[in-house]
Every structure is written in C-alpha cells, then in structure tokens.
Chains A and B, each alone.
Chain A
Amino acid sequence: MGDSQDPLNKRWDHLRKILERPGPFCHPEFEPSPEILDFIMTGCKILVIGAGGLGCELLKDLALMGFKQIHVIDMDIIELSNLNRQFLFRHKDIGSSKAEVAAAFINKRIAGCQVTPHFCKIQDYDESFYRQFHIIVCGLDSIVARRWINGMLISLLNYEDGVLDQSSVIPIVDGGTEGFKGNARVILPGLSACIDCTLDLYPPQITYPLCTIANTPRLPEHCIEYVKVIQWPKENPWGIQLDGDDPQHIGWIYEKSMERALQFNITGLTYRLVQGVVKHIIPAVASTNAVIAAVCATEVFKLATSCCIPMNNYMVFNDVDGIYTYTYEAEKKDNCLACSQVPYTIPIKDPAKYKLKDLIELLCESASFQMKNPGLTTVIDGKNKTLYMSTIKSIEEKTKENLSKSLVDLGLRDNSEVMVADLTSPSTMVLKLKYLVSDVEME
C-alpha cells in the first residue's frame, strides 16, 4: 500500500474526490478506484523534456500532483539570466546542470518524489530509454528538438498489418511560450496531429536578404547579421565556430556591428540586441510559463488517470491585453512525413536468396505499386544507407553492386524497414520486410 491509502494522510483527499467518484465530465470508460491514485504515485513514469522556464513549473506541478516517478532531461547549464523565473535555481547554482539541480531541489522539497536527472541531449538516448515512459511532457524552445522527439515516439508505434497497436502509443504533451503568448497541445502519435503535421504553424525564422545586409543595411539587426554571417566566417577571430554563449564572441560581434552601424548612420544597436539576434532569444514571461505548464500538467493528469477527456487538442493562450484562449482540433495531415508512414508489409520467402533487384522488380511490376524509378534507402544500426538510386549517376555507380546482393547480405533483417521514394507517390513510402523464415533457420 502506498501512502495514498493511508487514511491519516489527508494530503491526497482532493485527488481522491476526483479519482474515486464518477462525474459528468469523466471519460466514458472511467472506472473510479483507489488504484488510480496508486498508479500515479507508484507506477506512472513521466518524462519532462527541458528544465528551463516551463520545465521548472512542470516539475513542481507534477510533483505536487502526486507523480513520483519523474525523469527530467536537459543539456543546458544554469545562467544568471535564468534566475528570475526558473525558480528551482539559486545564484550558487550558476554553471551547474539544470536537470541535476532541478531534480535535487524537487526531491528535497517534496517528500517521496523521485526525480531522475539526465544532463544530456535528447538525441543521446535511444528508443529503449523513451519506451519506458507512459507520458512525455515537453517544455522546449526548439523546433528541431520537438521534431526529434516526435519522430522518436512515432518510430515506437507498432503496426500489425497496417493497424496501429494502441498500447504502443506514448502521448506527448507539448507546451510553448513566447512573451505573453503560449500554446499547449496533446499529441497521440499515430492518432492525432503530430508536430510535423502542423509544422507550418511555426513562424519561419526571421532572415534578411543577404544583399540587403551586405550593401544596404537599414536596421541595427542588419549590421549584426552581417557580422555574424559574413564577417565572422571571413575573419574567424578565434578559429572556431561562433558560440552565442561565449561573452568574448558576443563582445566581438558587438564591436564589429557597432563599427558597421556607425558607417551607415544606423542607431539603436545595443549589446542586448546583439545577444538577442545572435542567439535568437525569445523574451520569456514567468506568468505565461506558469499558465502553460499548469495546462500541460493537467493534461498529463487526465491522460494518466482517464478521469477526464483530454484536450482536443491545441490550445492557444494570449494575455497581452486581457486574457484570450481558444482550443481547437489541429488536424492530422494525410501526407505527413512523420506520422502518415504506415509501413507496408512485404513478405519475403527466402531472404538469403532474394536479391535487391528482385525487390525493385516487384515495386515496378506489381499491380499495387507500379513504380517508375524507385530510390531505396534504409537505416542499419542507426546509420543511413542508400541501397539503390538510379536517377543520380554518382549514386547509381556506387550502389549498383547492391542490386545482385541478397537482402540478408545487405544487412536487412526481419522487420527491417526500407524507404522508397518514387515519383508515383507524393511522399516517401515505408516498406516493412517480413521474413517467412526465422532468423535461427537462416543461420
């Protein structure tokens, strides 16, 4: 029995009222029971990605809600400018890992909570790490990272004969803020709109025409971009790539952009602006983070307990002037590069004899494919491999020897996936090879 069952412990009474009684807004299949609180406190494993502005709020919210098995991953270290809103950090923590300090703080402050920190990039872990979680919550500031985790969770989906096995779905709750604006969304990979389905919602990064920054700068930003894009690679003062976190680098950019601004009579260039332009800094407001994190934590709670139907599925929030929120259903994209890829199973009788050219012949001649010039790629041991591509001469020459190799010799195994690009289909198609002999028999 966990401490949730202890009748003397009144701390969880409010949660019991929700989880041990039915109600009009419950999920239709919700079965009230004390077990649910037990699940939150013992079984349910949550991953929080990012221990920054949203991450600190999320960790605090989830831990106070009763979740105990929490992991947090963040590659960053604490900086002075974080302290006004990332309240799990103190001045003495500057330079330490965000994930580690945040985890230690929560574990000390909230009895029984076990936050496990990971001071690394999300890309440092593979599917065996991500598969252990029930729900993943993101407090990220990068589209690349969102797409990566989105792709990772989509790759964990299991399809049996083209039908999704729902138990392989790990929900993502994603929050984002920018000044007084924010959004929160729930993604059920394979079932609802994913990050890539709605990629056009992200504003493109601000870029200035190269000729403008080179010849006719009008704004202080033009001068900074010029120094960053043209002057730095040319003069390369320290012989290394520009590092936006290195004050020496920023100082150099500031000095050179100032010279350029003076030359073109441009005013308004400041050190802070240089930092902002070089690092693409987005202003952060503590209250926005708090609201968005609270929405995300509530969604995690709903998903974990089924006590209430989760948000469907995208909420925008804006409190620049009064408060505005709106929730709508972002639609799944039929040809989404990430989540529409339901693998097409191809049975292979004798993979040790079946050659790559046999597979290509099948793709071109079978009535259900009728492809023209299929280009085939795959991933073997985490590395991309081009199997064959006839349309590009230099690739054709280097890959044509693969044609007469068998699937086994090419390193393809049972359940391996082959990506096929062909002009007959709007996006790259995924084939899943199903060997009709077991691996043991093959050896």
Chain B
Amino acid sequence: MIKLFSLKQQKKDGEASPRSGNQKKPSAAQLRIAKDINELNLPKTCNTEFPDPDDLLSFKLIICPDEGFYRTGRFVFSFKVGPNYPHEPPKVKCETQVYHPNIDQQGNVCLNILREDWKPVLTINSIVYGLQYLFLEPNAEDPLNKEAADVLTNNRRLFEQNVQKAMRGGFVGGIYFDRCLK
C-alpha cells in the first residue's frame, strides 16, 4: 500500500528536479495507431499515402477495385484519426466523386463500422476491408444516394452504365462527376 504522506518530504526537498532527457510520451491514440499502421495488411487493390510520415493520424487510402461495377476506377479516401481513437472511430471521407448508393456528393460514407457499429477492437484494416466491400457489393438497402440506390434495385444494367458514365467523367442524373479512371 502506497503511503503518500511521505511524498511531502520528497516534494519539499527536491522540488521539481526534472529527470534528464525525459520527454512527453505519445498518447494512447498514437501508440495504437502506430500498431495499426505497422500491421496494415492491404489487399492488392488498396494502397495508402502518408503525406507526412511523422503524422500517422492523417493519411489517404486509394482503392482501385479489380472486379464488380467499379472495376477500373480509382477512389481516394481521407482518414483522420482523433485523440480518442480507438474509443471513437476515425473520420473517413471519400474525396473522389462517385456514383454510389452508400456514398453521397459530400463524400460521406455509410458504413456501419464507421459510426454506430464501431468497436475499439476494430482496426484501420477492418475499415479498409469494409470500404473495399462497398465497391464490390453496393448496398441499396441503406442508401445515402437514394437515386443511385433506386436504379440499382430496379435496373442493374442501367446502374452499371451510370457507374461507367460517372467514372469516365460526365453527367448522371443532372450531377457532374469528375473522371476517376485509373
């Protein structure tokens, strides 16, 4: 059992004798993200970019799907990891304009583990796989872009054409999409 009253002696006598070379430790979020990043195991369709290698808390993920509706496209996501990671999920935005039922024009992504189903045991890798899955299996049940979801449900051929048109750069449903082919 620690007896803190004896501390008074120590504080009185050797008041603030800073230990040489003592440095501020990285936060728990830093320690955890270093682990997540060092152990990223990316599928061959995915790549990361760290604009500043000293800042592991903000980076980009590039997904180039090799099958499905979005094959030949190139989609960039920005990741921002906050000080409360892994208690809170990172903030993920899609920076590429995409015609997708679960991604809106502002880059918001509807993926359960990015919000309501996030758990601290999940890692950056889990999110990467979740995002990749969105391109393989767009989900019309929980839409963020309702028009795209309706097309996907009612006419898969038209949906496929719309995706192609958007990726080549052009208007779909009155909205202009920038070219994002690989």
Contact = CB atoms under 8 A, between A and B. Distances in A.
7 contacts: A208-B115, A210-B144, A212-B142, A214-B110, A384-B54, A386-B54, A414-B20
Given A147-B28, A379-B26, A384-B30, A415 B54 contact: no
Contact of A379 (B25, B48, B118): B25
B84 A143 contact: yes
A427 B31 contact: yes
Q: What band does the interface of chain A fall in when counting residues whose beta carbon is under 8 Å from B?
A: 35 or more
Contacts of A391: 37-40
Q: Does more than half of chain A's interface fall in helix, strand or loop, or is it mixed?
A: mixed
Contacts of A428: 31-32, 34-35
B12 A155 contact: no
A210 B34 CA distance: 29
Contacts of B38: 373-375, 389, 391-392, 421-423
B28 A196 contact: yes
A256 B69 CA distance: 36
Interface string A202-217: 1011011111101100
B106 A377 contact: no
Contacts of A393: 47-48
Interface string A183-217: 00000100100001001101011011111101100
Given A134-B4, A210-B110, A338-B28, A421 B15 contact: no
A309 B3 CA distance: 9
A391 B38 CA distance: 6
Q: Quick one: which of B8, B18, B53 has the most chain A CB within 10 A?
A: B53
A134 B8 contact: yes
A43 B8 contact: yes
B27 A205 contact: no
Contacts of B16: 128, 131-132
Contacts of A155: 24-25
Nearest to A43: B8
B87 interface: yes
A4 B55 CA distance: 53
Contacts, number: 200
Interface stretch (A89-97, A241-249, A394-402): A394-402
Given A147-B27, A395-B37, A395-B53, 6 more contacts: A155-B25, A196-B28, A209-B110, A210-B144, A214-B108, A379-B25
Interface string A377-421: 101101111100101111100110000000000000111110101
B88 A214 contact: no
Given A167-B10, A398-B53, A415 B5 contact: no
A416 B23 contact: yes
Interface stretch (A114-122, A227-235, A285-293): A227-235
A107 interface: no
Contacts of A321: none
A166 B54 contact: no
Contacts of B7: 134, 167
A303 B6 CA distance: 10
Given A230-B106, A386-B53, A214 B23 contact: no
B112 to A, nearest CB: 7
Nearest to A35: B8
A131 B15 CA distance: 9
A415 B21 contact: yes
B2 A166 contact: yes
A28 interface: yes
B19 A415 contact: yes
Contacts of A180: none
Contacts of A264: none
Interface of B: 1-8, 10-12, 15-16, 18-28, 30-32, 34-35, 37-40, 47-50, 53-56, 83-84, 87-88, 102, 104, 106, 108-110, 112, 114-116, 118, 120, 142-144, 146
A127 interface: yes
Given A147-B84, A214-B110, A398-B53, A306 B5 contact: yes
A215 B21 contact: no
Contacts of A309: 1
A36 B7 CA distance: 12
Contacts of A188: 2
Given A419-B34, A421-B35, A39 B5 contact: yes
Nearest to B82: A144
Interface string A300-327: 0001111001000000000000000000
Contacts of B34: 375, 377, 419, 421, 428
Nearest to B36: A421
Interface in A4-52: 27-30, 36, 39, 43-45
Contacts of A205: 88
Contacts of B115: 207-210
A303 B7 CA distance: 10
A28 B1 contact: yes
A421 B2 CA distance: 33
Closest 6 CB pairs of A and B: A415-B21, A375-B38, A211-B142, A306-B5, A155-B25, A421-B38
Contacts of B31: 337, 341, 419, 421, 427-428
A62 to B, nearest CB: 16
Contacts of B35: 421, 427-428
Contact of A234 (B1, B49, B106): B106
Contacts of A414: 20-21
